[in-house]
Structure 1
Amino acid sequence: MASKGSGIRVVVFDQYDRIHKIIRDAMIESIESFYHLPSCISFIQQNSKDERTIILVTTSIEDHVLQSFEGLNSIEAILISSKSRRELDTLPSKVIGIYSRIENLLRALFETFDTIELQLDANSVLFHRRKDGTDNADFYFYSIWKTHNTNEIITKKVFIEQARILFRSDHKIKSIIHDFNISYKSSEVLYWLDKYNRPFPYHLLVSNALRTHDQQILYFARSFINDLSQQMKPIPIGPSYNQVFFGTKLPISIVDRLEQQTSKDIIAFQCFLFATRSRAKALSTATQPTRQRKMANVLFKIDASHALCAHMNESILIDMATPFQITCVTRNTGSGGVQQLLTIVTLVSLDKKHREQLLGQFIQRQKAVGKTINDFLHQTIPLVRVDNNHKRESENLSDISRYSIPVYVVSVSKTSLDSLAVCDDEAEADEFIARGMWAQAVDALARIDDPNVRVLNKHGCLLRERLQDLPGALECHQQALLKATDKGKAETLIYLGIVYHDMKQYAEALKHYSQALQWFEKEKLKDPVMIARCLVGLGNAHWARKELDQALDCTERALALREQEVKPRNNLDIAACLGNMGNILHDQGDIEQALLYAKRAVDLLSSSRQNDLQLAAALNNLGAIYQACGSCDKAREYFERALECVPNENHPYRISALNNIARLNELEKEQT
């Protein structure tokens, strides 16, 4: 599901419901309000995955409550509404202030919101090379995106329709969207950057999509972004014109990297950057008092001679992702070097020749390794998730399967914005899915009267993937099959094949995958993506039944389609096929070929580095093959590399690799 909003979430913990309504009425975006501490903390923890920064407002002054919030990484600032006279220095460092008057609280809330939004823009900075010296592909995203598929621009009407779907449950924002629909003129696009008077679409939708490279939002908002880019002009030449400033706060780790890369690297902010000609104003913003730890006051001193800009009153808006050369980083410290006061980062915008040269060299390097522009855009944000949540019982499989992580058919459970209307309950379910609140999403879908095929399949996928309720998932997909027609029926057959496979009813899985494959192969305009998906499912089912020749044939056919016919090329799907080929060949006794395919999977994922989890699975599988054929040193090497890809100590892939290393240790003890 597309991400919406500014990238900042306001959460209110108000045990006695004193301030919730006031803040809700004052805010443009919806807020989350809680009366019970465990529910509030649980919500914040569950939503940490969406990477939105949280401003927490509370009426509690109790130490244990504030310490609980202090320990949550996604909370950036805490504001307290209370008449308490406690000294600020005695409170946790994330507490911005205590406010006895609601108008002062609201003023501080808006100021904090503005400050954090500036920090998010600053934190969007990307270096054109990674620390190991290789290309940082994300750096070049907008240089390519702006010139690729320029004819595929969504009309304003469609953009408005999609925005209404995204903000379906927020009546205040729907009203703002309506104002945009009737009033917007492309020549007046700069007026629509006013956060408080015209918050849609830039601040409520586009700004965070720019920072996060959210291609779904960017696709729908492309015409607005193009209108904005059209306003960007060369800045007037002269010393009084080309110098602009941007004040903010940055983590010291980023400042360290800026200093280390001086004169060696190029950076770009993934946004339209709001700068100012006033050094005093930028300096005031940079040095605002803060209680945040490990943050540096930073003043960017920017030579914008070669940048494209737009004038907005006192501000200068610099074109999105403008590349800058770092020329100098100066750190000024207080007495004795104890307190860092200000870091000045001097930047010079690249001229047009150097910008084109930089991009051209990157594209040539990509072509040299066989990658196209479509590959690049597809890999920037993975559009398909490989489902690795299934397990097999070891007694029915070969030795390698006890240690490997099987890769199965891709299952997509998120909403597609198709022609079927999205009701309020489904929209609410999608919100819960985005937050990782699976049980609540299932409850919302279950409330829908006469659900359509999309809803039933979404419901079934959630039950299978997230709640491990296979009977419930089977019932949902069976109901969907009764209602589905044409392609919808074929896709539902694939979902049923996945469920039957998980239930170890492999004959039924084969039956449903085969029926789906027949439908897709009969189509006049064949879809290689769906045909390959059916073949992968058939290959997995045959492998589980020890029908290795059939398993190999299906997987080889799927691999050929994904390598030769699927456009744009999806390295994740190709690597999944390569890994499955390795496992099947190992079971056939062809160790040499098994290692070859398993290595190809690892090499492909290592070079693209799209998905560390799938790379961990591939490394684990390669180690399992080495372990099964007695090469314990090699096995240990790949198991340990798998560990490096999964820092989360509780993730099943890390646990799998640790268990494999433990088995190696036991094996070595037995041999000594």
Structure 2
Amino acid sequence: MATLHSPRAKDANKNRSARRSLVSDAFLLSTGESTGHKISPINITDEIYESVIFIWFDPHENLNTHLMGPLRAINFNVQTFTDPLTCFDTIKSSQQKIFFISSLCNNELIATVHDFNAVEAIFILDPNNENIKGDFPKLFGIFNQQEELLRMLKEVFNTFEEIQLEEFAFEQDKVFLWSQLWKEDLINRKGSSNRNGLIEIARRYYRDNTRIIEIIEEFEKSYRHADVISWCFRSPFPTRFLLHALRSHNKAQLSVCRFLFADASRFFQQHSKHKSSDQVYRGMKLSSELLDKFETHVGQLICTSGFFPCTKSRTNALTLASLPTYRPDLLSVLFKIDCDASSLFTELSNKHSTSLIAFDACMAFRIVYVNRGQMSTVKLKTAGDAGKKIALEYLEKHPSETIQSLRDELLKPPKPPTPPPRTPTPPPPKQLTPPPPPRTPTPSPKPKSALVHIKNSIDPVISVEEIKAQKYAEQGDIDMALITYQRIQPVTVRILNAMGQLSADRKGDYDYALQCHQQALKLQEASGENISDTLTYLGNVYQSRGEFDLALDHHTRALALHQVNPTTESVAIASNLIGIAKAHWGRHEYSEAIANGERALALQETLIPPNETSIATTLALLGNIYQDSGDSTHAIDLCTKALPLFERTVPNDSLILAELLYKLGIMQSSSGALDDAQRSLEQSYKIYRKLLPRGHQDRMSTENELRRVIQLRQKNKQKSQTNS
């Protein structure tokens, strides 16, 4: 480890005074002082598929871009910050573990970051090596050289993945019950494989990492059910995807990884017969508070957030648990696990080390005893079907609820006891002609197009509760809107589809959206109604879930119904054609995708008056499809046509415009038009910089791409000067 207390020259300390004042001011502001500029809360779990984030903080605008590649080679999820306020706000709101790396060697900075619960480790890259005073067990070193820092960072990160990454859920925790219900649903509910969806998401996420892309391509070509356990322990992909899905309880990620968990569960069931009982070990480092919790729950059940890898070698487990250089503030703990002959575990051979013992995901264990000492011991034993029984008993107590709805309820945050007092209670309205909302000028309130528009509903009368739900949705309170919709009886097709659209479009909760639309479809099929709109909603949800085959099927069925209905508007047909185009695109069937997209565009262009936003959106979609098919010329042409339409119809600082400019810049860069690419990316970055905080993935990607293009232009310029 690098030296923490090396001597300093007086002039070196003097030169740092400006940097210290910068951070000191930021600390005052971050603890409560107002700056007049509100920092938007950041939810860093958005679009995150790994459980660890590397944060690179440099208070200078000139970020060390040379460090980004090596950092991402260790852990792909890297966020960069130059503003301390935004950086600290991100850390405080993080549900992931943070490895904090900075170019600023400052006692106050380290002390502040050290106190954040999410921070697991701190690394400082500083050639001047300022003297640090205090006890900071999370600080792994102050490094003079980048190579030295990267070596230590990789070593510490690998150790963390071995001894710290698991999380435990105790029998009384809601997460424990959630895990056992999830396992019960995984085993008993058949679902279609979403392998292509996982591959597509992984490709997009790791698009800049050639090494991981190669692993993804290998997975696509060679994955077999019999190899599922080996793949589940293949790092970084798909191991980190699987662990994050389980730790975060992210429904979309669990859905896309479901086939792997299901294959793994079946593997354990089929290979659960062992010749005799066995004992395995796991070395970890735990906080004193967590070890206290194990002591108070002796005799009760626990489960882990993953496959809980162990070893048959007690010596190896003790070595891991007693590492002196890793977090001396944590306690060394040896887990001893007794496994009976029917336990769901398997042994994976390893050429370079002892065999690995893996248990089924979220498997239940019983705590036998806890012995504290210099090396504390926690004795566990496999608990058979004990976790399953708890889940089944809970299901019996809630016979009218689905497993999914029960799991959702368990993870809901505590709510205020009485939400209605937030708004005054209106006087009793007339039942058939409810009064319009106070701020709506027209006498008959209608749902906004961004919310719901359903032509075929069982009950055409809009109730007072429905109006309340629409108001909540307009105000952005989606949870209250859904709660209000759920209170409406009897349940109608319109209400179910409204809840489905809100869940999908405004919350990204595609599992619940799927349930709502499927229930609406059953009602319509039973009553003989036109199901074309509901099929369209289902197609959109399946597309968002990455289930392209099902998306294609539902949009194709909806299109057929729309085409034989003389009252169908062209907008509905165009919507299905776009859905079909997206599904073919997801299946890499580019010619079919382009053909359907062009049919949709032709319909949109015939409408009077034309909807320029819809036309621009379809042009951009076709541009992306052409780009993926390898035709950059057509891609750039279509996106260039979309640009002025968006500029006329959306605000000039719209995120829609920023995204189009970013994608156009990527296309122009790949075709060698670096001047055009720089202009597009500069415009995109200008919007992102105005609307998004530092460290946001979209802003960071645009900034990095812009720097890359600028560097390429400079290299080309230097080459031309040299040649001349």
TM-score normalised by length of structure 1: 0.54
1:350 and 2:383 equivalent? yes
Distance (whole Å) between structure 2 residues aligned to residue 311 and residue 30 of structure 1: 30
1:178 and 2:217 equivalent? yes
What is the deviation of 1:180?
2.5
Task: Report if the CA contact (8 A) 1:153-1:219 is conserved.
Answer: no
Distance (whole Å) between structure 2 residues aligned to residue 145 and residue 516 of structure 1: 33
Distance (whole Å) between structure 2 residues aligned to residue 365 and residue 255 of structure 1: 33
1:129 and 2:148 equivalent? no
Q: Which amino acid aligns with 2:71?
A: R
Distance (whole Å) between structure 2 residues aligned to residue 47 and residue 519 of structure 1: 40
What is the deviation of 1:17?
5.4
Cα gap change, 1:282 to 1:540, in 2 (>3 Å): closer
SS in 1 for 2:187: coil
Cα gap change, 1:145 to 1:515, in 2 (>3 Å): closer
391, 405, 411: which one aligns with 1:375: 405
Cα gap change, 1:532 to 1:207, in 2 (>3 Å): farther
1:327 counterpart residue number: 368
Q: Which amino acid aligns with 1:362?
A: Y
Q: Which amino acid aligns with 2:363?
A: T
Distance (whole Å) between structure 2 residues aligned to residue 2 and residue 407 of structure 1: 35
What is the deviation of 1:47?
5.0
What is the deviation of 1:294?
5.8
506, 513, 519: which one aligns with 2:447: 513
1:156 counterpart residue number: 195
2:339 counterpart residue number: 304
Distance (whole Å) between structure 2 residues aligned to residue 53 and residue 317 of structure 1: 23
1:114 and 2:158 equivalent? yes
Identity %: 20
Cα gap change, 1:509 to 1:22, in 2 (>3 Å): farther
Q: Which amino acid aligns with 2:182?
A: Y
Distance (whole Å) between structure 2 residues aligned to residue 519 and residue 282 of structure 1: 60
What is the deviation of 1:101?
4.7
What is the deviation of 1:214?
1.8
2:248 counterpart residue number: 212
What is the deviation of 1:407?
10
222, 238, 243: which one aligns with 1:201: 238
Q: Which amino acid aligns with 2:456?
A: E
What is the deviation of 1:202?
2.1
Cα gap change, 1:174 to 1:511, in 2 (>3 Å): farther
1:56 and 2:56 equivalent? no
104, 115, 132: which one aligns with 1:71: 115
What is the deviation of 1:51?
0.6
Cα gap change, 1:226 to 1:89, in 2 (>3 Å): farther
- CA RMSD of superposed structures (Å): 4.5
Distance (whole Å) between structure 2 residues aligned to residue 534 and residue 366 of structure 1: 27
Cα gap change, 1:508 to 1:180, in 2 (>3 Å): farther
Where in structure 2 are there 5+ consecutive unaligned residues? 1-44, 350-354, 426-435, 474-482, 504-724
- How do 1:247-646 and structure 2 match up within 5 A? 247-263=283-299, 265-289=300-324, 292=327, 295-305=330-340, 306-313=342-349, 314-332=355-373, 341-352=374-385, 354-367=386-399, 371-381=401-411, 404-406=421-423, 505-508=439-442, 510-513=444-447, 519-520=453-454, 522-523=455-456, 534-537=466-469, 559-561=488-490
What is the deviation of 1:207?
1.1
Cα gap change, 1:3 to 1:356, in 2 (>3 Å): same
Distance (whole Å) between structure 2 residues aligned to residue 527 and residue 162 of structure 1: 40
Task: Report if the CA contact (8 A) 2:285-2:330 is conserved.
Answer: yes
Task: Report if the CA contact (8 A) 2:163-2:283 is conserved.
Answer: no
Cα gap change, 1:206 to 1:40, in 2 (>3 Å): farther
Distance (whole Å) between structure 1 residues aligned to residue 409 and residue 460 of structure 2: 20
What is the deviation of 1:291?
6.9
Render the CA deviation track for 1:549-590: whole Å, top value 9, x for unaligned: xxxxx97995324699969999x99xxxxxxxxxxxxxxxxx
Q: Which amino acid aligns with 1:361?
A: E
What is the deviation of 1:211?
1.9
Cα gap change, 1:568 to 1:316, in 2 (>3 Å): farther
Distance (whole Å) between structure 2 residues aligned to residue 166 and residue 249 of structure 1: 31
Distance (whole Å) between structure 2 residues aligned to residue 557 and residue 209 of structure 1: 28
Render the CA deviation track for 1:302-348: whole Å, top value 9, x for unaligned: 0122421121222101111111111111001xxxxxxxx22211001
What is the deviation of 1:115?
3.2
Distance (whole Å) between structure 1 residues aligned to residue 487 and residue 276 of structure 2: 61
What is the deviation of 1:513?
2.9
Render the CA deviation track for 1:523-548: whole Å, top value 9, x for unaligned: 168999x999844346889xxxxxxx
Cα gap change, 1:17 to 1:555, in 2 (>3 Å): closer
Where in structure 1 are there 5+ consecutive unaligned residues? 333-340, 389-399, 409-499, 542-553, 574-672
Render the CA deviation track for 1:595-615: whole Å, top value 9, x for unaligned: xxxxxxxxxxxxxxxxxxxxx
Render the CA deviation track for 1:429-464: whole Å, top value 9, x for unaligned: xxxxxxxxxxxxxxxxxxxxxxxxxxxxxxxxxxxx
SS in 1 for 2:318: helix
TM-score normalised by length of structure 2: 0.51
1:81 and 2:15 equivalent? no
Q: Which amino acid aligns with 1:125?
A: F
What is the deviation of 1:159?
3.0
SS in 2 for 1:325: strand
Task: Report if the CA contact (8 A) 1:532-1:557 is conserved.
Answer: no
1:636 counterpart residue number: none
SS in 2 for 1:9: strand
Q: Which amino acid aligns with 2:384?
A: D
1:24 and 2:59 equivalent? no
SS in 1 for 2:447: helix
Q: Which amino acid aligns with 1:344?
A: T
Q: Which amino acid aligns with 2:377?
A: I
What is the deviation of 1:156?
2.1
Distance (whole Å) between structure 2 residues aligned to residue 567 and residue 276 of structure 1: 50
Distance (whole Å) between structure 1 residues aligned to residue 154 and residue 325 of structure 2: 16
Render the CA deviation track for 1:404-432: whole Å, top value 9, x for unaligned: 22499xxxxxxxxxxxxxxxxxxxxxxxx
Q: Which amino acid aligns with 1:141?
A: L
Distance (whole Å) between structure 1 residues aligned to residue 379 and residue 492 of structure 2: 46
SS in 2 for 1:523: coil
Q: Which amino acid aligns with 2:446?
A: H
SS in 2 for 1:404: helix
Task: Report if the CA contact (8 A) 1:245-1:299 is conserved.
Answer: yes
Distance (whole Å) between structure 2 residues aligned to residue 183 and residue 556 of structure 1: 46
Task: Report if the CA contact (8 A) 1:375-1:569 is conserved.
Answer: no
Cα gap change, 1:316 to 1:560, in 2 (>3 Å): same
What is the deviation of 1:53?
0.9
1:455 counterpart residue number: none
SS in 1 for 2:89: helix
Q: Count matched residues.
A: 427
2:137 counterpart residue number: 93
Distance (whole Å) between structure 2 residues aligned to residue 165 and residue 509 of structure 1: 48
What is the deviation of 1:278?
1.0
Q: Which amino acid aligns with 2:172?
A: R
Task: Report if the CA contact (8 A) 2:103-2:124 is conserved.
Answer: yes
Cα gap change, 1:93 to 1:517, in 2 (>3 Å): closer
Distance (whole Å) between structure 2 residues aligned to residue 268 and residue 568 of structure 1: 37
What is the deviation of 1:87?
7.9
Render the CA deviation track for 1:9-46: whole Å, top value 9, x for unaligned: 01123457566146336335142234x3xx14523423
1:189 and 2:222 equivalent? no
Cα gap change, 1:243 to 1:569, in 2 (>3 Å): farther
Distance (whole Å) between structure 1 residues aligned to residue 381 and residue 348 of structure 2: 21
